[in-house]
Amino acid sequence: MLSGVLSDAGIQVVGAGCPVSAQSGAVAQGFGCEVQDDLRHMLSSERPDLVLLADPGGFGHREVELDLAALQRAHEQGVTVASLEPIPAEATEISGSRWGEALHSGSFGEYVRVVPMARRGRLIDELMATLETFGVVRSLSISITAPGVYGSLGARMFEAMDLVRTLVGVPGMIDASYQGEASANGLHQLPGESMRDLHGVLAGHLRMGDGRGVLLQVSDRVGRSGLMMNLLGDEGEIRVLDEGFVRFDGGGEQIDSFVMEVDAKADPSSVRLTEQLIQLCSGVGPVRSPVDHVSVLAMGHAALLSARTGQGETPETIRRLLMEV
């Protein structure tokens, strides 16, 4: 998948590696490029146009202070860093650290961009435009799924939470369930505290403080990517798919629509990833608001915590933890 995306984006690979250093040579050989087996050194000392982390391994998850310093150095040198996985991926691990300071200042969004993100596409741009006359979204159902080659379940959670926050805000309570790989005895493991290396299906009910609600479903265990949303409000209904959306008024009459010109054979995540990598490399593209890492990470952590405890959990508690410096 990755070779095809990079080729379509017109990106020349000059170095490649792997979190398992013994496999870096084979990975580089597959791309026909030099071996890069020291990610921190590459970020701190070399100046490629783009560093794409398809699998960050333990980066941003273990020796977090050293990893943050490498990202900051890359940013200072004008190196764009993108990742298929959320970085950071765990709230409790970075609380009180320099990562917390970067999140608090709002500068972290310039250090690393998570791709692909559904919100950073023309479909959502057009949806946001029609929402200007739609009024308050009273209820939202959202499903974001993609094959694991485009990122883990944690990546899809990050993508979905970012879109939920954009459309309706940060929920006051999240009640979630998780289904991972079944063990030999048929039991399912509970998720940990990190969105990294998480696979399976997560479903949830997100309750806003004013009584509005969101039904959420995300998975990395599908054969083809899919985005589906249904937005209900006093002004009617909007139905969204990867190909576009249709808006109906309160009487059921269609009053607006948007249709994307898409390649039916291309995976939607592949299309979004290609477009977003081109924009990152060229520096040319629509101006969109940055990801609110603190809120999105807090929402993801609250969902994982709820899946473990079987109770609703509040993102605000996690957000306060993240903002401690």
Would you give the DSSP letter of residue 188? B
- CA distances to 96, 165, 216 from 294, in Å: 13, 11, 20
pLDDT in tens, 266-290: 999 999 999 999 999 998 888 898 8
Output the pLDDT for position 102.
81
- What is the number of helices (H) and of strands (E) in the chain? 11, 13
What architecture does CATH give domain 122-263+290-319?
Answer: 2-Layer Sandwich (3.30)
* Four-CA torsion 233, 239, 240, 246, nearest 10 degrees: -110
SS (H, E, C) 137-170: EEEEEEEEECCHHHCCHHHHHHHHHHHHHHHHCC
Return the higher-pLDDT residue of 57 and 219. Answer: 219
> Are 2-114 and 122-263+290-319 in the same CATH fold?
no
Report how far residue 209's alpha carbon sits from residue 131's, in angstroms, rounded to the nearest whole number: 21
**Side chain identity at 251, as an amino acid letter?**
G
Highest mean pLDDT among 25-39, 85-99, 171-185: 25-39
How high is the pLDDT of residue 96?
A: 67
The per-residue pLDDT for range 120-163, each reduced to its tens digit, is 999 999 999 999 999 999 999 999 999 999 999 999 999 999 99
Does residue 186 have a pLDDT over 80?
no
Verdict on whether the full-model pTM lies above 0.75 = yes
| pLDDT above 70 coverage of the chain, percent | 96
Q: Which amino acid is at 317?
A: T
Task: Provide the H-helix boundaries in the chain.
Answer: 2-8, 24-31, 39-45, 64-76, 91-94, 98-105, 122-131, 153-168, 268-282, 293-309, 315-322
- Exposed/middle/buried for residue 40 (C-beta within 10 Å: 0-12, 13-18, 19+): middle
Domain locations in the chain as residue ranges? 2-114, 122-263+290-319
User: What separation in angstroms does the CA of 115 have from each of 25, 54, 164?
Assistant: 25, 10, 17
User: Could you tell me the pLDDT band of residue 324, with boundaries at 50, 70 and 90?
Assistant: low
| pLDDT averaged over every residue in the chain | 91
Q: What is the pLDDT of residue 21?
A: 86
CATH architecture of 2-114: 3-Layer(aba) Sandwich (3.40)
